[in-house]
Amino acid sequence: MLEPPESTARDAHAHLLRDTRGLRREHSSAREAWLSALEIEGAPRLLFELEMLLKAIACFGNARNHTGPARRAPAVTHDFVEELRVLRATLDRAVELARALLGPRDRLHAFSRYLESLLPEDSARHRLVREQLAQNTPEEALLALRSAMASGLEIVDGVLRSGRISHRLWFALHGTFVREIARNAFFNPLVALEFRPEFDRIDDATWLDALARIESDTAHRVAVLVVLTLRRATRYLELVDVHADDPTRWRLALAMLAVLRSDSRALVRFLERRAGDVLADGLERELLALSAFDVRARFSELERAARRVLGLRRTLQTLAARLRVEVRFVLEHELPPPDEAARVPMGPLLRVASDRLRAALAEASESLAAALGVRSPVSTPSAADRGSQADRWTSLWMLAQVVRAFLAKARVAREHAGDAVEAWRGRDGPQFVRDFARHLRVLSTPWPVAADGRLAAMWAALDEARAADHLDEARLARLLSTTEAFARHLETLLASLEREGGAFDRAAAARRLRLYLAAP
C-alpha cells in the first residue's frame, strides 16, 4: 500500500476550506472571530445565503447560466428587463440579510446618509465617504457592502421605470455590482469551487472514514473536492426550494440556479479535462519517491494502487458526463428563460427541477461512494425515485443509438480499408473505439443491462481490441459480432418496454443524447 503522508485526510480537507477563496490569513481569522461573536440566531445560515446571493449576482450576468434554451437572437436585440428584475430581487434580499447580520449597527448606515446630506463642506463630506468605504474589519466591510447594494437598489428601481433595458445598460449596471463585490476585503465569494469552514465542513462519519482510507494524497484531494462541491450544490437547491413558492421571491431561485450551473460546469470541466492528469501526476510523484528496490519488492501493492486510482478516474469521468447532461437538460429544457418565466406559474416548475437536480447530485454521490467502497449517506428523494425508471429507459435508448452508430462506423472502416490491420493503424480506428468505450461506461451505469452477461462480454471484446497493437481479422470479427449481439439485446429490451406500455418521451431522449454528445 502506498503510504500517505501523515494527516493526509485532515490536510486536504483543511486546505480546501482554508485556501480556496484566497483570503489573507489575518482577514480569515478576523472573519471567523466576528462570526463566532455574533449574537444573532442562525448567523451562519444568513451569511451563507448572503454570500451565495453575491455570487449569484456575478453568475447571473453570464447568459450561459440562465434557465431555458440559449438565445438565438443577438444580445443587442434583447430586452433585459426581466434579467434586471432578477438582479433587483437578489439585491433586495442581499440588503435584507446584511441588515440582519449587522443588527443595531445597521442604523449607522442611515445615520451616515443623513449626515452626508447635512454637511456643508466638501472636505467633511469626502472624509465621511472615506470612513464609509473603510474595510478594516468584517463589520466595516459588511457596512460598505450594504451601503453599495442599497444605493444600487435605488438605481435599479429608477432604471426599471424607464422601459426597455438595452444590452449596454444591463452590462454596465451588472458590472458595477460585480466590481463592488470583488473589491470587498471580507465578503468576496467570486471564485469557482471555493469553500469556507463556516459552511462546508464534511461532518458525516461515513464520508470522513471513506476519504481517510484513500491511499493517494492527490486522489484524496480530488475526492474531497467532489464531495464538497456536491454538498454545496445541494445547499443551493435548499435555497431554491425556500424561494420557489414565494410569489414575491421566486426570481431568487433563478439566481441560485445560475450559481449551481456555474459551479457544476467548473466541476465537470475539472473532472473531464484535468482530474485524470492530476491523479496520474500524483501517482507518479509517489512512485518516484520510492527506491528501485522498494518498487520491485512492493510491485503487487503498487499495481493494485494504480488500478484503484484508474478506477477512481473512470468513476469521476462518468460522474462528470452524467452530471453535465442532467444539469443542462433540466435547466435548458424543463425551465423557461427569464424573459418568459413571469408569464407562467414558476413554483411547480422550480420544485420539479429541484427534485431532478437533487436526484442527479445524489446519483453522483452514490457513484463516488461506490468507487470508495462505502454506501453514500445521501438519499435520493422520493420524487426522483418516481422518475428514475423513465430516466433508465432514456439511458437505455441513448445507449442503443450509440451502439448502432459504433457498428455503422466499424463496418464502414472495415469495408473501405479492405485490410483490417491497416484500418486499425489509421488515426481514427483506436479513437472511435476509445470513444465508444467511454460512452458505454457512462450510459450503461443507470441500467442493469449486465444481468445476463452481455455487457461483460462487450467489455471483454473492447478490452481485447484496445489492448492490441494491431487488429487482425479475427479480433475485428469478434468485436463486431459481440457488438451486434449487444445491439440486438438492447433492441429487445426496448421492444419489451413498448409491449408493456412503458413508453417514454423519445424527443426528450434525443435532446438529452445531443446534449451528452456535445462538447461540455
pLDDT at 1 (0 to 100): 32
Q: What is the mean pLDDT of residues 73-83?
A: 91
Q: Does pLDDT of 193 surpass 90?
A: no
Encoded amino acid at 266, one letter: A
Q: Does pLDDT of 192 surpass 60?
A: yes
250, 243 Cβ separation under 8 angstroms: yes
Q: Does pLDDT of 113 surpass 80?
A: no
Q: What is the mean pLDDT of residues 95-103?
A: 92
CB neighbourhood size of 426 (10 A):
11
Q: Does pLDDT of 246 surpass 90?
A: no
Query: Minimal CA–CA distance to 14: which of 191, 227, 190, 196?
Result: 196
Q: Does pLDDT of 139 surpass 60?
A: yes
pLDDT at 477 (0 to 100): 77
Q: Does pLDDT of 2 surpass 60?
A: no
* pLDDT per residue as tens digits for the range 427-446: 445 577 778 888 888 787 65
pTM as predicted: 0.81
Could you tell me which residues come within 8 angstroms of residue 291 by beta carbon, excluding any fewer than 6 positions away? Answer: none
Q: Does pLDDT of 457 surpass 80?
A: yes
User: What are phi and psi for residue 331, nearest 5 degrees?
Assistant: -75, -30
Q: What is the mean pLDDT of residues 250-268?
A: 95
Grid coordinates belonging to 302: 503498487
Q: What is the mean pLDDT of residues 46-61?
A: 94
- pLDDT grade for 130, boundaries at 50, 70 and 90: low
| In the chain, where the domains are located | 23-182, 205-380, 390-517
- pLDDT grade for 450, boundaries at 50, 70 and 90: very low
CA dihedral 339, 394, 398, 455 (to 10 degrees): 150
Q: Does pLDDT of 94 surpass 90?
A: yes
* Percentage of residues in the chain having pLDDT higher than 90: 29
Give the H/E segment covering residue 17: helix 8-19
pLDDT at 128 (0 to 100): 55
* pLDDT per residue as tens digits for the range 295-340: 888 888 888 888 888 888 888 888 888 899 889 999 998 899 999 9
